[in-house]
Amino acid sequence: MNRKALWSWSALDIRDGVRCKAVSATEVITAHLDRITAINPQINAIVTLVPELALAQAQEIDAAIARGETLGPLAGVPVAHKDLTLTQGIRTTFGSKLFANFVPTRDAEIVARMKAAGAVTLGKTNTPEWGAGSQTFNEIFGVTRNPYDRSKTAGGSSGGAAAALAARLVPLCDGSDLGGSLRNPASFCNVVGFRTTPGRVPIIPSENPNDPLPIAGPMARTVDDCALLLSVISGEHEQAPLSRLIAQSFEPPIGAGASPSKIAFSADFSGQIPVDPKVIDCVNDTRTFFNDLGCEVIDYCPDLSGANDTFHILRANSFARRHGEGVRRNPLDYKQTIVWNVEAGLALSQTDIQRALRQQAELIERFRVFFEHYDFLVTPVVQVPPFDAALEYVTEITGQPMHTYIEWMQSCSIFSVTGLPALSLPAGFTSRGLPVGLQIIGRPSADLAVLQLAKAFETINPVWQRTPVF
């Protein structure tokens, strides 16, 4: 490994290097801070930087090593937290001008767990206002740009995290996902984003701890690094009722698992939703890798009817519950798409909500039957390649109009409704050099199996190694 490019090391390499004293935590953090200074102005991924705090934490780790103390699993590893995530003593804006100078007095549980594991916090990553939409921009910090093409978006809402990972500013980031906010930017930026089973990573604090739609999860450049972070932030918590899952060990290295898997493979969702031909071509090119792994690959996509309507209703209801009072009081404090989403939620009837819940139950049952015959479903992550950063959202796909700011995200949001684990994995690039991700959807609670298939694919198609040029 190149000591002159510590910023390019994986999280596992940093952890092991610090443990065996091949490199100090202070050296690692200094290298990453220098990288951020050089590159971040071009992409605007990290919006709040805390260099003094980070160096102080690194020095404490080096002192602990000198004393022979036992280190946590992330000791010396630089991380950055999404600007929706509470960080004690570090500004957290939620991308909203209402909270432009807000400094929390507590950490979110995932931040507390990362700190306890020895991770070194470098700062906060950009997000759209209140995490709404898969395009990362807000009135406080502006637009986050794609490291592979600065004229394109990094996606969202964990767009700052994905861009920071791709640009080698940090090796690990946390993210969140309601309708695709982990998976979409991971696909756009050639990194890994894992929408884990709801409750696998407890969300604390939470306004609605029983809601399975929003999840928190890990982002990284490789499957093993993703698993490393998941091993730290997952696990039961008494305040998170959904976290009472059967425990799984995610400690890397993840064993590559594939054969004799039976995979349903669909690059176009069997025509049920529109997909850009450039994405279809790129995803179809990955089929041979699964064949090489010994998988049985069958062209098939389950019936997804009702999923989009269900997601729109449940999301609108959630937005009305969270932002309804603020929007009623002063709608000018919110971007127009949030106001629209809140108004849609306030207009819902009990009949609408019951229809959504009925459709959701029917969809979950169809997937239960599907997984009696298949081990995984493999699809595109996003229906389009990264688009112009000046656009708020995609307005048409293959000539089909997208009427709302979330309609073009169906390829992610329909699987949010199922509660199934879904991982975005680097798959390839379009002819114009834009990243395209592969979505691996697994059986209920089969998070580890999803990671194992992803690791097997990554091993024979290490496209994550293609770095952006600055």
Match 């169906």 to its residue by tokens.
410
Burial of 236 (0-12, 13-18, 19+ CB in 10 A): middle
Token pair for 103: 């400094």
Print burial letters for 402-412: b (CB count within 10 Å at least 16), e (below 16): beebbbbbbbb
Burial of 369 (0-12, 13-18, 19+ CB in 10 A): exposed
- Asked if the bond preceding 260 is cis, omega within 30° of 0, the reply is yes
State pTM to two decimals. 0.97
Query: Which residue in 132, 100, 117 sits closest to 319, CA to CA?
Result: 132
CA distance 279 to 381: 9
Measured in degrees and rounded to the nearest 5, phi and psi for residue 386 equal: -50, 135
Contact 436, 430 (CB under 8 A): yes
pLDDT at 256 (0 to 100): 84
Per-residue pLDDT of the chain in tens (470 residues, 90 and over written 9): 667 799 999 999 999 999 999 999 999 999 999 999 999 999 999 999 999 999 999 999 999 999 999 999 999 999 999 999 999 999 999 999 999 999 999 999 999 999 999 999 999 999 999 999 999 999 999 999 999 999 999 999 999 999 999 999 999 999 999 999 999 999 999 999 999 999 999 999 999 999 999 999 999 999 999 999 999 999 999 999 999 998 899 999 999 876 779 999 999 999 999 999 999 999 999 999 999 999 999 999 999 999 999 999 999 999 999 999 999 999 999 999 999 999 999 999 999 999 999 999 999 999 999 999 999 999 999 999 999 999 999 999 999 999 999 999 999 999 999 999 999 999 999 999 999 999 999 999 999 999 999 999 999 999 999 999 99
Match 């199996």 to its residue by tokens.
449
Catalytic center residues? 82, 157, 181
User: Number of H helices and number of E strands within the chain?
Assistant: 14, 17
Measured in degrees and rounded to the nearest 5, phi and psi for residue 118 equal: 100, 5
Match 């594939």 to its residue by tokens.
258
Burial of 466 (0-12, 13-18, 19+ CB in 10 A): middle
Pairing of strands 296-299, 262-265: parallel
Radius of gyration of the chain (CA): 21
Count of C-beta atoms within a 10 Å radius of residue 277: 10
> Which residue segments constitute the domains of the chain, with CATH numbers given?
3-465 (3.90.1300.10)
In degrees, rounded to 5, the angle at the alpha carbon of residue 32 between the alpha carbons of residues 31 and 34 is: 65
pLDDT at 260 (0 to 100): 79
Query: Which residue in 278, 207, 277 sits closest to 239, CA to CA?
Result: 207
DSSP characters over 423-443? EEEEEEE-TTS-EEEEEEEES
